Amino acid sequence: MNKDVSDSDLRSLRTHDQQPNRIASITQKFEETFGSLPTFVASAPGRVNLIGEHTDYNDGYVFPVAIDKYINIAARQRTDRHVTLHAPDVNDSWKFDLDALPSIPQQAPAWSHYLIGVASLLQASGRKVTGIDAVITGDVPIGAGLSSSAALSVSATLAFLTAPSELEAPMEALVSESDKKELAALCQRVEHEFAGVNCGIMDQMISLLGRENHGLFLDCRSLEYEHIPLNLAGHYITICNTKVKRELATSEYNKRRAECERGVEILRKWISGISSLRDIALTDFKKHEEELPMLTQKRCRYVIEENTRVLDAVSVLKAHNQQITKKTDEALIQFGRLMNASHNGLRDDYEVSCKELDLLTDIARSITGVIGSRMTGAGFGGCTVSIVHKDALETFQTRVKKEYHEQIGIEPEIYLCRVGDGAQVFWSTELS
């Protein structure tokens, strides 16, 4: 939303589902491109992480939610082995042959690498993959740290799995709950092997497993998870986009990962049986942190403290769900403090924030009714996430836009988000 929030906006947010509009729009674009209707639309959401940043690739804990912004792929099966893709949002197209995989031609656009990677790994896993015609659109902001790439990989995975199906079955019949973990790992491999980003598995898991009005408490080692209700008591999840391109995010991400691994290697001399920072208690770390180079020490400290914050945050929400009135307010305030501490650690120890992210969090925290604010995503730009009481939303938007523009010269984008479901498939009978 780019205007101040009124009561009618809030009613619309609660009652109006944009799903029919986005499905109708991509169906029309498919018909304009290929001359007939698609057989189905595969849709996967972006995400925002409320707490637990840069812990996933350290086998730690995270707590993301799926947001009501999606990458959608309208598709139909072809009779040959060719894949024809059209991406109207970037005015680009690409074709490839399933029998020529896994090679990627040098001239292939970056966005196509995700679909080539998905098709390659699905075939290698023994799953049936057929040619498709497809149109790809979405409203997950690219480069904002809201996981547009994971949403693209997940929606592509569902498209390739759905195309050979002869039955218009619900997605649950095509992809079981246990399949979702396997497919999340496959989509993670796409990032590693076809996009060159050594990401963790959080983004793919939440895109597949998100549940409306719930956060996903995920153990990134075991992939065990729990849906935690988000009874936010009149508060809303508000995302602010710095509109700063995350040019350093990929290279610095890989450096942070390497520093964490280096810390584990050194600390094994004093702490036995550890394979990642997840295994190190904060008390044990403090006993031996001086053995680490200063930079490595800061990176490790942040991750170990952040894992503790995630566990504390989930405990707070669980207690919140069992309490009412004043105790509920106290629980939310505690959750917000953990969010603030998370950003401070990302800024000072992990050093993945930037002046624009810090400014947005500072403005947010100065507004009565904001219980917590932090950067979210890889960092060096992208977005912040704040939890804002409905009575403060108008003030929040006005002040954030004004003060950020005064100091940075850019008007930030502000998204008031619903917490939505994970990936879905809509069949032709649902598209009319």
- Give the catalytic positions in this structure: 203
The answer to whether the beta carbons of residues 129 and 164 sit under 8 Å apart is yes
Q: What are the residues facing 217 on neighbouring strands?
A: 226
